[in-house]
Chain A
Amino acid sequence: MSANLAAFLYLVSGVLFIQALRGLSSPETARRGNVYGMAGMAIAILTTLFSIRIEFGSLVMILGGLALGGTVGAVIARRIAMTAMPQLVAAFHSLVGLAAVFVAAAALYAPEAFGINNADGSLHMQSLIELSLGVFIGAVTFSGSVIAFAKLNGNMSGKPIMLPMRHVINLALVGGAVVLVFMLIGTHGVGASAQSLFWILTLVALVFGVLLIIPIGGADMPVVVSMLNSYSGWAAAALGFTLENTALLITGALVGSSGAILSYIMCKGMNRSFISVIMGGFGETAAAAEDDGIERTVKRGAAEDAAFIMKNAGKVIIVPGYGMAVAQAQHALKEMANLLKEEGVEVKYAIHPVAGRMPGHMNVLLAEADVPYDDVFELEDINSEFGSADVAFVIGANDVTNPAAEDDPSSPIYGMPVLKVWEAGTVMFIKRSLGAGYAGIENPLFFRDNTMMLLMDAKKMVEEINKAL
């Protein structure tokens, strides 16, 4: 295949990837978009295979790698529980990062294969910088995603880990990385010294990635996942420059901006700056500030009471949160909504942008439980409706309904957009205990007269309500 034809086909595959994202503007077009994405990937792979000379041994490796990875991927995709999506996405990010590291290593070890070497076998300064960027971002994505995975999967506590002097350490690591890149340029990419510098740089980036994620607490995970998504894109783009490949460049730019926009949306949903999320530690210092010694009473309710009130309501708005995902309560919840609808009650769902552990987490779980997506509303579309609702049914959410965000300037979440559940006739909270939310802030709603606390595992409670209905 001629180089020009190959370049043209890579462009086609880049355009198909744009179409894949374009399709996601609505659920109807999304499925076709995904097919475009697959077609784009097939074109990119086939174009590469037809433009290089492959010896038999290499062909075995290529097909073996595709078959091995493809099987593992397909099995995971089929088996994974929808509640485990955040950790799956984190795991996938780590693989992109690691693949980027190995591709960068390959470009350094055998630049001739990629056609990026000078006549004497050395590398341009420009290629070395692009390659260093690629490996640095790739390694940060890898180790950062591994930590994010461990936190999301519960292998590691979600609590922020604050090392002393961590800002100094991080600055030193970045400074060290810059020095290493200069030294790498000094070697012109030739010989064992270039290779060892490359791996030291990788190591520095790996440590940096770990230190970047450990101080970030559980509630900030939606930002972390989006941010790592963005990094995986920038790593791909940097290597797109090195390998002079249009498909890689376009994809890297798309994924990079996609992750950046999602990070922005998540930060806005929490009213926090990106910098303060990265600096980490949210949810540790804020705790225990609220304990003013006043004994306050809460009204506890039973499933029968909740069922009775909702059955006689005209309109119920359900507010799901991370607790629903943990308890796997989405199917029971959908059944409850069906039972209520049979009684003539209007049922809607309200989703806060940062509910759950990743962007859109709640929407996927509700979709899994067969909740039609036109019953599910975003914060800005439904917030005015709580006033006309008889019941706000909050299941496994807390901070995103805290009125302190609106009326208590001393609250750490002051200014965060929240769902105004307190405007509904009755607010029901399903929680396992009266503990504070992930941000470590007490919710004054728990103590109000029109609040009913349903203290039990979310799934069990909803099932009991269903029985009572």
Chain B
Amino acid sequence: MLAIASAVTVDPFVFRLAIFTLACFVGYFVVWSVTPALHTPLMAVTNAISSVIIVGALIAASAHAFMGSDAEVKAAFGMTRLFGFVAITLASVNIFGGFLVTQRMLAMYKKKG
């Protein structure tokens, strides 16, 4: 049964690759339409959104070993939580800093009159 399933279903990696490839094209067209006057806010906001990597950090910070795991595994999970905490802090600086500084910049762009 398992063998049949793996023979007919597509590896989920292919789906992820499809999403990634299409997103590259979306990015290509969307970024070309950004006005050059807003290239600095573009960099600030891309900074902020790339910190969505925080989702990985959140999972890491909440990692807990199964009951009865040996000491080595427990130590590795302890380190993982620490990595998660550091990554959450770094990404938060970027998320809050990036969106707020973008907002501050965009508020300055005014029309004539």
Binding site for B on A (CB under 8 A): 10, 13-14, 17-18, 20-22, 24-27, 30-31, 33-34, 37-38, 40-41, 44-45, 47-49, 52-55, 57-59, 61-62, 64-74, 76-78, 80, 82, 85, 88-89, 92-93, 95-96, 98-100, 102-103, 105-107, 109-110, 112-114, 126, 225-226, 229, 232-233, 235-237, 239-241, 243-259, 261-262, 265, 351, 353, 358-361, 363-364, 367-368, 370, 372-376, 378
Contacts and interface: CB of A to CB of B under 8 A. Distances in A.
Interface of B: 12-13, 16, 19-21, 23-24, 26-28, 30-66, 76-77, 79-81, 83-113
B57 A255 contact: no
A89 B104 contact: no
Given A30-B41, A69-B91, A110-B76, A21 B110 contact: no
Most buried by A among B54, B58, B65, B85: B58
Given A77-B100, A126-B13, A233-B50, A360 B95 contact: no
Nearest to B18: A249
B44 to A, nearest CB: 6
Q: Which of A72, A102, A255 has the most CB of B within 10 A?
A: A102
A241 B110 contact: no
B48 A37 contact: yes
Given A22-B30, A54-B62, A92-B98, 13 more contacts: A18-B27, A34-B45, A48-B54, A58-B62, A76-B97, A243-B59, A250-B23, A252-B50, A253-B23, A255-B27, A265-B39, A351-B36, A373-B109
Given A110-B77, A226-B43, A72 B58 contact: no
B61 A62 contact: yes
B30 A21 contact: yes
B105 A73 contact: no
B58 A52 contact: yes
The binding surface of chain A is classed by DSSP as helix
A271 B88 CA distance: 40
A225 B81 CA distance: 31
A34 B103 contact: yes
B40 A361 contact: yes
Contacts of A249: 16, 19-20, 23
B76 to A, nearest CB: 5
11 contacts: A21-B31, A24-B42, A41-B51, A41-B52, A41-B99, A59-B62, A74-B100, A106-B60, A110-B60, A110-B63, A254-B49
Contact of A99 (B53, B81, B109): B53
Most buried by B among A225, A236, A360: A360
Contacts of B95: 41, 69-70, 73
B88 A92 contact: no
